[in-house]
């Protein structure tokens, strides 16, 4: 560990440049931007917690979902990738069990006493609940926890489908692993940190999410995840070089809010599970697909049509996620794009999470998809991503159309709404010069 002053000097001197290239981009301007960003975060830490504390740096990426939309919570198959937007944390351990955490852009400082590791009334849907929940999960898994002071800065768009909350959760997990468990990557490997983070979000935060977001953020790279056994998900990294195909990954922010959508997300899981329940099963993964189709006349009477249609989406999108992985492995990029479009249509038409029925006048996601279709035509691919209902869309854009696509999106949703990203090959980690 170094003091905050020593760390700022090391970053300014370029000692972290190689690490920044690996995490963000091999571009001089991007590296310089990260130098300034990290130094500013350290300065804010000093402002809130004092000068010349011994500190460490941690980072956890956001993620983009490539295939398998709303399949993880029913033990399905997904394909996702970590992206080069992240949560950065400046951390110093403290005596006792008090966590003090200040996040950029939030007025209130979280103060969480880790002597109490049960859900607390009034903390639901607040970051304090995530901190407490991750700590509880670490202890339940046989680990140790303790107090720390931290300042966090995130450029993962909130409510964007890039999993800002999951990035925060796994970052807290990485901090507790590093500061109080000796960085034990055996006992607290990235998948274990993901499972602990999901537990925190489900039980303490109150959001019934699946495990895809946390796993993608924790593990890094492009990955496929098979959740047949959610306690032991099968995770495989996939080599994925878009630039070599002449394409860029664009994430476009439609500026919609996820603030009032928890019950919309919950309804998808609940309805899928209601179909499984009709068959005497817990989740759709346990239901025979042929038996499901034969039983639709009876199932729809018990569950309603929307639940049946969402189940159809589940079966199809699980299959597509595996096919997407195969297409990448076989270097069949045209097939990959075709599958992306098919998955996007399925999410819109079958899973029905392009917009919320609570506010049908707000349809930023469908509008962005329509603009994508107009600009890209029969080239590239586009789809909603993440939880849906609001937030972002994803597009794979030919490099020769990138400027036109970005201009079209920005013209509707505001300058800087279209982000050109890359896949990040590192998950939730301490940031060191020898990364």
Ordered mean pLDDT values, 10 residues apiece, the chain (435 residues): 96 98 91 98 98 97 93 93 94 97 93 96 91 98 98 82 86 98 96 95 87 91 90 85 88 83 92 98 98 98 98 97 92 96 98 94 96 97 91 94 98 95 92 96
Task: Specify the pairing of strand 110-113 against strand 148-154.
Answer: unpaired
pLDDT at 342: 98
State the residue for tokens 């901090």: 175
C-alpha–C-alpha distance, residues 319 and 6, integer Å? 51
pLDDT at 391: 85
**Domain ranges, ordered by start, for the chain:** 2-239
Torsion of the alpha carbons at 125, 127, 131 and 132, rounded to the nearest 10: -40
* Closest among 214, 105, 117, 192 to 152, alpha carbons compared: 105
Q: What is the CA radius of gyration of the chain?
A: 21
pTM here? Answer: 0.84
Which 8-state DSSP code applies to residue 282?
S
Paired tokens of 111? 């103060």
- 8 within 8 A of 43, measured Cβ to Cβ: yes
C-alpha–C-alpha distance, residues 366 and 352, integer Å? 11
Residue 287, φ and ψ in degrees, nearest 5: -95, 135
**In sequence order, what are the residues at sequence separation of 6 or more whose Cβ sits closer than 8 angstroms to the Cβ of residue 428?**
58, 59, 60, 61, 170, 171, 173, 174, 190, 193, 217, 218, 220
C-alpha–C-alpha distance, residues 230 and 419, integer Å? 32
* Closest among 307, 316, 231, 317 to 270, alpha carbons compared: 307
pLDDT at 161: 59
Which 8-state DSSP code applies to residue 424?
-
- How far from the centroid of its chain's Cα atoms is residue 32's Cα? 25
Instruction: CATH number for 2-239: choose from 3.40.50.170, 3.30.230.10, 3.40.50.150, 3.40.50.970.
Output: 3.30.230.10
**In sequence order, what are the residues at sequence separation of 6 or more whose Cβ sits closer than 8 angstroms to the Cβ of residue 48?**
100, 102, 109, 149, 151
C-alpha–C-alpha distance, residues 2 and 5, integer Å? 8
pLDDT at 197: 97
pLDDT at 237: 83
First to last CA, the chain: 15
Which 8-state DSSP code applies to residue 423?
B
Task: Specify the pairing of strand 418-421 against strand 392-398.
Answer: unpaired
How large is the angle between the packed helices 212-219 and 190-199, nearest 10 degrees?
Answer: 140
């Amino acid at each position: 560990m170094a003091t905050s002053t020593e760390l700022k000097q090391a970053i300014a001197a370029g000692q972290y440049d190689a690490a920044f290239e690996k995490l963000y981009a091999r571009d001089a301007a991007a590296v310089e931007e990260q130098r300034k960003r990290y130094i500013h975060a350290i300065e804010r830490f000093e402002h809130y917690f004092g000068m010349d504390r011994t500190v460490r740096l941690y980072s956890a990426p956001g993620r983009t979902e490539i295939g398998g939309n709303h399949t993880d919570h029913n033990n399905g198959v997904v394909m996702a990738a970590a992206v080069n937007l992240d949560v950065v944390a400046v951390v110093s351990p403290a005596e006792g069990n008090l966590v003090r955490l200040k996040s950029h852009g939030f007025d209130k400082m979280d103060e969480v006493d880790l002597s109490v590791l049960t859900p607390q009334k009034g903390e639901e849907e607040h970051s304090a609940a995530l901190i407490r929940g991750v700590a509880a999960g670490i202890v339940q898994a046989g680990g140790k926890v303790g107090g720390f002071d931290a300042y966090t800065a995130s450029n993962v768009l909130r409510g964007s489908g890039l999993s800002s909350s999951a990035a925060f959760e796994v970052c807290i997990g990485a901090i507790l692993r590093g500061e109080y468990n000796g960085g034990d990557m055996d006992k607290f490997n990235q998948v274990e940190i993901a499972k602990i983070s999901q537990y925190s979000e489900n039980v303490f935060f109150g959001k019934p999410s699946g495990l895809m977001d946390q796993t993608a953020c924790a593990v890094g790279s492009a990955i496929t995840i098979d959740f047949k056994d959610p306690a032991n998900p099968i995770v495989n990294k996939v080599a994925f070089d878009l630039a070599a195909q002449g394409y860029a990954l664009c994430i476009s922010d439609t500026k919609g809010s996820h603030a009032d959508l928890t019950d919309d997300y919950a309804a998808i899981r609940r309805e899928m599970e209601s179909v499984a329940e009709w068959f005497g099963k817990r989740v759709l993964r346990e239901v025979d697909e042929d038996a499901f189709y034969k039983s639709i006349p009876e199932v729809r009477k018990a569950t309603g049509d929307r639940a049946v249609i969402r189940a159809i989406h589940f079966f199809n999108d699980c299959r597509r996620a595996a096919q997407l992985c195969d297409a990448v492995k076989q270097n069949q990029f045209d097939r990959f794009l075709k599958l992306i479009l098919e998955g996007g249509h399925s999410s819109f038409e079958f899973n029905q999470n392009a917009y919320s029925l609570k506010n049908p006048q707000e349809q930023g996601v469908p509008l962005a998809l329509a603009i994508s279709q107009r600009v890209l035509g029969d080239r590239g691919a586009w789809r909603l991503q993440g939880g849906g209902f609001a937030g972002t869309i994803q597009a794979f854009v030919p490099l020769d159309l990138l400027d036109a696509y970005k201009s079209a999106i920005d013209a509707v949703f505001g300058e800087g709404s279209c982000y050109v990203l890359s896949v990040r090959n590192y998950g939730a980690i301490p940031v060191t010069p020898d990364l």
